[in-house]
Copies of this chain bind each other. A is one copy, B any other.
Amino acid sequence: MNTDKAWEILKKEGFKKTDKREQILNIFSETTKYITARDILDIMMVEHPGMSYDTIYRNLSTFVELGILDETELTGEKNFRMHCEVDHHHHHFICMSCGNIKEIHFCPMEMLQNAIPAYQIESHKFEIYGKCPECH
């Protein structure tokens, strides 16, 4: 996976190309897992000991707003994952041991299109948690 789509979005929205952003995006492009802000920090600290918390969190939230990253809450922490390369809506099985994910190409909202017309639906979450074949 590469980061072209992400840069395309960033450029279009007027964000600058910086080392830190590049590294963060590279980390995401090299994994299929959901990872935490802390994970990013740990990895980046190796090359940039003077890394600022602010830089990580600010960029992660920018990326989420722009649809570059997916965000979810697992065990009390926010977890992120590359999303912008995705070209079709889907959900995830998330392994609680290793963090790996499996895409689930089924969306329950299809079944509920007209089930609650009086309610204004803004978003939804469908996630399955457990252990992947390698972990159990």
Contact = CB atoms under 8 A, between A and B. Distances in A.
| Complex copy number for this chain | 2
Nearest to A122: B130
Interface in A47-84: 73, 76, 78
Interface residues of A, number: 31
A111 B126 CA distance: 13
Nearest to A126: B126
A130 B121 contact: yes
A131 B122 contact: yes
Q: Looking at chain A's contact residues, is the secondary structure mostly helix, strand, loop, or mixed?
A: strand
B111 A106 contact: yes
Contacts of A96: 122
A31 to B, nearest CB: 19
Interface in A100-134: 102, 104, 106, 108-109, 111-112, 115-116, 118-133
B119 A130 contact: yes
Could you say which of A96, A128, A129 has the most chain B C-beta atoms within 10 Å of its C-beta?
A128
B129 A126 contact: no
A93 B111 contact: no
Contact of A123 (B73, B104, B106, B130): B130
A130 to B, nearest CB: 4
